[in-house]
Structure 1
Amino acid sequence: MAATNRPALHFQNMARYFFHVHNDVETRDELGQEFPNLEAARASAARDCIALAVHSITNSATSSCITASI
């Protein structure tokens, strides 16, 4: 059996962030997503909030307020 020269794999534990959406009703994130740090989680939340706002504006005759908590 020949030995292989492979670099050791190092896995960094990432924190799990939960994105709860409040848009007339509260939608709790039960699964969460893993991100390397809070800044990455906030960036993802910002992109998702923009997408939700655009969807709400283009598909609804009434205005609504969308908030998210991390």
Structure 2
Amino acid sequence: MLAEIDYNFGRAFHQLGLHSHAVSHYERVLEMAEKWGGDTSVAKEAAYNLSLIYVTTGAVPLADALYRRWLSI
């Protein structure tokens, strides 16, 4: 539930172009997923959206780390 709230805030900030705020909310979703010992229902979506921000801002190595941890099979 809390992860979904943070994801929704991250998504809203992302759509408004407020990347620094979006990043903090998406990162919180991923921290909760790590803490709870697995993926939350929105962890993969948060990781994907966060990777989009990283790629568009030039932080490709950070995006690559997200791909490897959260988005690979």
Name the structure where helix makes up a greater proportion of residues: 2
Q: RCO (CA 8 Å, sep 6+): is it higher in 1 or 2?
A: 1
The alignment's TM-score, normalised by the length of structure 2, stands at: 0.34
Name the structure where strand makes up a greater proportion of residues: 1
The alignment's TM-score, normalised by the length of structure 1, stands at: 0.35
Larger Rg: 1
